[in-house]
């Protein structure tokens, strides 16, 4: 997972482009001091993982709750006309939240950005599942590196997207028709169903908070292991829900009917919560597995690069191992 150093600390976490700092904007603290030079000689122009850690550490040192605190991105050193010409969308979004970038700094903090790993593919975007292809930041092609540079994802989509035009489509055999299965039905009274939905909503709120605290910008073994134990407990709670037991017991093509209100939205909530639990588990376990620091992955207990870890972490089912080829 990559972390972007300057997200607007308002709902939606709009990303303030790194080009703003390239044009001359300063990162300052509450005292107006350009604190990033305390952490790297390039200051605001250091690599994005370095700037993210600088902000995170500075907030840890100066704020009671670094999870909700922020620093300031000051665009006033840039000429006003250049700001209007280069960054009209940033002006518009900040104005919506009552921030005039021409006269006042923007409250920012690091935020989770996009993947630097993903589904293993070959050079033709094929996965190990026949008929399934992956392109872009959902794929692990080897071109992201440990800290993907800005716009590399766009270039990757162009290159690997073009590869799809040369794909030789193979016939994927389909299973023979299965005998007709009887309709299965799930019913729950209103009170029971509301309790299940509240449980799912609580999980949806807790999962990102736990992962941010334990596998965010800075990581260490003890907090990772504690979070893994918590996620495993939540997975068991989730699986024990009556709706989970019903849906997970269905066989492919088996017809089913759920007698619940607003069924499409509720099924989406159920499925997304399951996905979040899976993703949280993968991130936490992979972060604990890699005992070094590299790019966006920073371990407080293993702060240095290790040559033996110049490989991908591969995961299949519940097995973790290093890729055999040095990358």
* CATH number of residue 40's parent domain: 3.90.700.10
Predicted confidence at residue 13, as pLDDT, reads 87
pLDDT value at residue 66: 63
Same domain, 107 and 125: no
In a domain, 78, yes or no: yes
Residue 113: closest CA among 48, 161, 56:
48
Residue 174 lies in a domain: no
41 and 128 fall within a common domain:
no
- Asked whether residue 209 falls in the same domain as residue 310, the answer is yes
Collect all residues with Cβ–Cβ distance below 8 Å to 35 and sequence separation of at least 6: 27, 28, 29, 54, 58, 71
CA distance 57 to 44: 14
Please tell me the predicted confidence (pLDDT) of residue 54: 94
Please tell me whether residues 20 and 137 are part of one structural domain: no
If DSSP states are collapsed to H, E and C, what string results for 66-101? CCCCCEEEECCCCCHHHHHHHCHHHHHHHHHCCCCC
Q: Which residues pair with 321 in a beta bridge?
A: 314
- Is 53 a member of any domain? yes
Sheet holding 71-74, edge to edge: 3-8, 106-112, 71-74, 26-28
Residue 179 lies inside a defined structural domain of this protein: no
- 317 in helix, strand or coil? coil
Inside any domain, residue 167 = no
Say yes or no: 51 and 143 in one domain: no
Measured from the Cβ of residue 268, the count of other Cβ atoms closer than 10 Å reads 11
Q: What is the pTM of this model?
A: 0.86
Q: Is residue 170 part of a domain?
A: no
Q: Domain range holding 156? A: 119-161
In whole angstroms, what is the distance from residue 177 CA to residue 86 CA? Answer: 58
- Residue 176 falls inside a structural domain: no
For each of the chain's 327 residues, which pLDDT tens digit applies?
889 999 999 988 899 999 999 999 999 999 999 999 999 999 999 988 899 999 999 988 887 676 678 999 999 999 999 999 999 999 999 999 999 999 999 999 999 888 888 899 988 899 999 889 998 888 888 787 787 776 787 888 899 989 888 887 777 666 665 566 788 888 877 888 889 999 999 999 999 999 998 999 999 999 999 999 999 999 999 999 999 999 999 987 888 888 888 889 889 999 999 999 999 999 999 999 999 999 889 999 999 999 999 998 999 988 999 988 654
Residue 172 domain flag: no
Does 198 lie in the same domain as 143?
no
Based on the domain organization, do 68 and 191 belong to the same domain? Answer: no
Q: What is the pLDDT of residue 283?
A: 94
Residues 10 and 69 placed together within one structural domain of the fold:
yes
Q: Give the model's pLDDT for residue 67.
A: 65
271 and 202 in a common domain: yes
Same domain, 55 and 145: no
pLDDT of residue 327: 47
Number of domains in the chain: 3
Q: Is residue 101 located within the same domain as residue 134?
A: no
Specify the pLDDT at position 173.
66
Catalytic positions, written as ranges: 48
Q: Across the strands, what pairs with 73?
A: 27, 106
CB 7 within 8 A of CB 111: yes
**Claim to verify: residue 221 and residue 303 sit in the same structural domain:** yes
User: What CATH number should be reported for the domain holding residue 198?
Assistant: 1.20.58.100
Among the listed residues 230, 204, 202, 199, the one whose alpha carbon sits nearest the alpha carbon of residue 215 = 230
């Amino acid at each position: 997972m990559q972390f972007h150093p300057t997200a607007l600390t308002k709902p939606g976490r709009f990303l303030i482009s790194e080009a703003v700092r390239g044009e001359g904007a300063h990162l300052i603290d509450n005292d107006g001091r350009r604190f990033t030079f305390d952490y790297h000689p390039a200051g605001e122009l250091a690599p994005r993982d370095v700037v993210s850690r600088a902000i995170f550490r500075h907030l840890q040192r100066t704020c009671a709750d670094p999870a909700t605190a922020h620093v300031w991105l000051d665009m006033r050193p840039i000429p006003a006309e250049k700001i209007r010409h280069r960054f009209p969308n940033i002006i518009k979004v900040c104005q919506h939240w009552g921030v005039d970038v021409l006269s006042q700094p923007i409250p920012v903090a690091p935020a989770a950005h996009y993947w630097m790993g993903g589904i293993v593919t070959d050079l033709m975007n094929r996965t190990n599942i026949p008929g399934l292809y992956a392109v872009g930041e959902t794929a692990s092609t080897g071109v992201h590196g440990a800290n993907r540079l800005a716009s590399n994802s766009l270039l990757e989509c162009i290159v690997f997207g073009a590869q799809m035009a040369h794909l030789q489509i193979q016939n994927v055999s389909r299973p023979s028709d299965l005998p007709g299965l009887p309709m299965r039905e799930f019913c729950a009274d209103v009170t029971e169903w509301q309790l299940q939905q509240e449980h799912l909503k609580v999980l949806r709120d807790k999962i990102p908070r736990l992962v941010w605290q334990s596998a965010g910008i800075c990581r260490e073994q003890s907090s990772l292991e504690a979070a893994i134990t918590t996620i495993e407990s939540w997975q068991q709670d989730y699986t024990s829900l009556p709706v989970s037991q019903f849906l997970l017991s269905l066989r492919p093509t088996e017809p089913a009917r759920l007698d619940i209100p607003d069924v499409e939205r509720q099924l989406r909530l159920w499925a997304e919560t399951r996905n979040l639990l899976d993703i949280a588990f993968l991130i936490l376990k992979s972060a604990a597995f890699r005992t070094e620091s590299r790019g966006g992955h920073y371990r407080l207990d293993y702060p240095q690069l290790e040559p033996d870890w110049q490989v991908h972490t591969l995961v299949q089912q519940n097995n973790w191992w290093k890729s055999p080829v040095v990358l």
